[in-house]
Amino acid sequence: MNQAMQLETDALIVGAGGAGMYAALEAAAGGASVILADRSLIGRGGATVMAMMTVSAAIGAQCPDHWEHHLADTLTAGHGLCDEHLSAILCEDAPIRILEMDAWKVGWAREDGHIKQAQAPGHDRPRCVYVDFLRTGPAVSKTLRSRVIDVPAIRRIGDLFIVDIAVEDGVACGATAIHMQTGEPVVIAAKAVVIATGGLTRLYRRNSASLNMGGDGYALALRAGAQLIDMEFVQFFPIGHLAPRLVGLDPIMWDPFRYKLGGVLLNGDMQEFEQRYAVDGGRNDGTYVLTRDLATYAILKEVEAGRGSPAGGAFLSFKHVPEAELRRAFGPVIDTLAKNGIDLSRQPIEVAPIAHYHMGGVKVDTRFESAVPNLFACGEAVGGANGANRLSGNAITEALVFGARAGRSAAAAAQAARQRWKPSASAAALDLLRRRRRSGSANPAALIGRLQSVMMDKVGPFRIQAALDEAVIEIDAIARTIGTDPMASGAPFDPVLIDWLDLRNMVLVARSVAVAARARLESRGSHQREDFPGLDPRWQLNQIVRLTDGRLNLTPEPHSQHARPRAEVPA
């Protein structure tokens, strides 16, 4: 291996989804030179491009609204664990970003001359904007990408896999990466680093993630010395597509059609069942029968009782909807469905819970800085804003709002900082890459599959002590199998090396989720314990994960009930 290629910038942004691209724009606007790096192609990987759904913001276009109302709904959904300062930033900045995106011609759906806002579960009024039909994510990605391209201060580099954040004297100062085409190491000196790598849902067998959502950013943050918060709270989306096989669409596509057309959930006996659980849980919100966590519970309980659909979920039926109305609501999507052999006027489809979003993440302050100076995070990589359960529509909002804020902060930090990077900051990561070898019978791609099964079966939507214990043991066994020296094939775009590096991150992050889930002896939001049903007020606290001398430490921390002044708002 030759000497590593060296790059230098004010702000390094890791991940080029919605959050990363917004961070790049704002960092550049703040006067910083920027490297926007992604392991995939710029603006193609990550979650944003896959988001087919809605984006919440109190713009008041559909009916009068105020961000305090949005905040109230966000806090309610978060079951008492939201970091209220972050939630407030999310809701207060949302209209600014949504209208800015509108000015950039993202194409929010319109009605009667105004931006149309849909009612989504958990919101007290129509608040969610979208791009028809199911084009929200691709439109957001494309719009941001075309803005980013126009800014000379932003250098975009795809196929660049960040291995570790470089830290000098406890301060973030760049990163060590691998150029996927050549396999050569690259070091990047940066005055500020922003983690914008999205979530961790690839840890689960059934997920709506893209390839690069194995939680890289959480692992990068942990190894850099930052703290993670609320790692036990993984949101499962109740009606992810299950059968028949559907390609060319995001598996979580059914929700908006359910609101629009009133799709009916049926168990294997073709009986409706949601109402029963709504009564049990006492949580019928009137417009939408069950919130995400309860719908997940209801479907899995029906399956457990032997009343599942053939593929192991529930039926979702639109058979009561006239064909012309289906065509109007689904638009061109109906043709994609036809290509998959699905005719909604004749057959129900099967759905089941699917790992969808992570509430936990890097613990940051209101400048989006982590415990490591000059290391920032934004988007789904940040924990705290959504508490124990995320309100629908808040994910893209969070990407845009937190991306912009973190980008501004990174530019300010870069202005005040000097380049601290020196070879010692990248020495350990370069040494790791140097140790790669062609060896071993273990197949890292197969081990990723094994890890996904462990997480799905034992750290899934419903948890119990014995299974969580087993999960930790199995995760540790996988960690031992992969060892500390990278496996590699030695070829360009080395799939063995990339799978190994992914797995290195995934086992660390999976363990963080499992130990936090094992320690929380109550059920709250997306964290449901079979052995500790019901919310326990004593558990209104956050759990913090740190990596100290190579060991994960979990510590409870009192949940800060910030006294935040409320804005005066009409109801």
Partner 1 sequence: MIATLLIRRGTPAAAPVVERFDVPFAPGQTVLDGLRYIRAQIDPTLAFRFSCINANACKECMMLIDGKVAYACTTRLHDGEMKLAPLPRKALIHDLVTEIAPPDERLIPKT
Q: Which of 156, 206, 292, 520 is catalytic?
A: 292
Amino acid at the residue 132: D
Nearer to partner 1, 210 or 505 (CB): 210
Catalytic, 480? Answer: no
User: Which burial class, exposed, middle or buried, applies to 335 when counting CB atoms under 10 A from its CB (0-12, 13-18, 19+)?
Assistant: exposed
Looking only at the bridges linking them, the beta strands covering 34-37 and 5-14 are: parallel
Look up residue 566 and give its DSSP letter: P
Q: Which of 230, 499, 528, 545 binds partner 1 (CB under 8 A)?
A: 499
Q: Does 443 bind partner 1 (CB under 8 A)?
A: yes
Binding range to partner 1, per CB under 8 A, among 39-47, 190-198, 301-309, 366-374: 39-47
Q: What is the 3-state secondary structure (H, E, C) of 350-401?
A: EEEEEEEEECCEECCCCCCECCCCCEEECHHHECCCCCCCCCCCHHHHHHHH
Nearer to partner 1, 152 or 558 (CB): 152
User: Which burial class, exposed, middle or buried, applies to 566 when counting CB atoms under 10 A from its CB (0-12, 13-18, 19+)?
Assistant: exposed
Q: Which of 113, 248, 286, 550 binds partner 1 (CB under 8 A)?
A: 248
Report the distance separating Cα 294 and Cα 296, nearest Å. 5
* Site track 370-399 with partner 1 (rule: CB under 8 A), x = hit: ------------------------------
* Site track 445-484 with partner 1 (rule: CB under 8 A), x = hit: xx-xx-----------------------------------
| 448 φ/ψ sector (left φ>0, alpha ψ -120 to 50, else beta) | alpha
Sequence-distant (≥ 6) Cβ neighbours of residue 159 within 8 angstroms:
38, 39, 40, 41, 179, 180, 181, 493
Q: Does 210 bind partner 1 (CB under 8 A)?
A: yes
Nearer to partner 1, 103 or 247 (CB): 247
CB of 156 to partner 1, least distance (A): 5
Q: Does 139 bind partner 1 (CB under 8 A)?
A: no
Nearer to partner 1, 137 or 384 (CB): 137
Q: Does 537 bind partner 1 (CB under 8 A)?
A: no
CB of 444 to partner 1, least distance (A): 6
Look up residue 346 and give its DSSP letter: T
Tell me how many residues contact partner 1 (CB under 8 A).
48
Amino acid at the residue 17: G
Q: Does 152 bind partner 1 (CB under 8 A)?
A: no
Nearer to partner 1, 207 or 386 (CB): 207
- Which pair of tokens denotes residue 280? 């049990």
Binding range to partner 1, per CB under 8 A, among 256-264, 360-368, 471-479, 495-503: 495-503
Cα torsion through 397, 365, 421, 381, rounded to 10: -40
CB of 136 to partner 1, least distance (A): 11
* Site track 163-182 with partner 1 (rule: CB under 8 A), x = hit: ----------------x-xx
CB count, 10 Å around CB of 272?
12
CB of 473 to partner 1, least distance (A): 22
Nearer to partner 1, 46 or 460 (CB): 46
Residues 250-289 that bind partner 1 (CB under 8 A): 250-251
Q: Which of 72, 99, 153, 157 binds partner 1 (CB under 8 A)?
A: 157
User: Which burial class, exposed, middle or buried, applies to 311 when counting CB atoms under 10 A from its CB (0-12, 13-18, 19+)?
Assistant: middle
Q: Does 212 bind partner 1 (CB under 8 A)?
A: yes
Binding range to partner 1, per CB under 8 A, among 108-116, 265-273, 486-494, 532-540: 486-494
Nearer to partner 1, 47 or 89 (CB): 47
Residue 188 · residue 177 · CB < 8 Å: yes
Alpha helices in 150-181 (DSSP H): none
Q: Does 186 bind partner 1 (CB under 8 A)?
A: yes
Nearer to partner 1, 51 or 94 (CB): 51
Nearer to partner 1, 422 or 438 (CB): 438
CB of 534 to partner 1, least distance (A): 36
Residue 380 · residue 362 · CB < 8 Å: no
Helix or strand (DSSP H, E) at 157: strand 154-157
Helix or strand (DSSP H, E) at 185: strand 185-195
Helix or strand (DSSP H, E) at 56: strand 55-56
User: What Rg do the C-alpha atoms of the chain give, in angstroms?
Assistant: 23
Q: Does 245 bind partner 1 (CB under 8 A)?
A: yes
Q: Does 216 bind partner 1 (CB under 8 A)?
A: no
Q: Does 338 bind partner 1 (CB under 8 A)?
A: no
Q: What values do phi and psi take at 10, rounded to 5? A: -75, -55
Residue 264, strand partner residues:
317
CA 315 to chain CA mean position, Å: 26
Residue 174 · residue 166 · CB < 8 Å: yes
Q: What values do phi and psi take at 555, rounded to 5? A: -135, 135
Q: Does 493 bind partner 1 (CB under 8 A)?
A: yes
Catalytic residue positions? 292
Question: Where does this chain bind partner 1 (CB under 8 A)?
Answer: 5, 40-42, 44-46, 49-50, 137-138, 156-160, 179, 181-182, 186, 209-212, 244-251, 340-341, 443-446, 448-449, 489, 491-496, 499
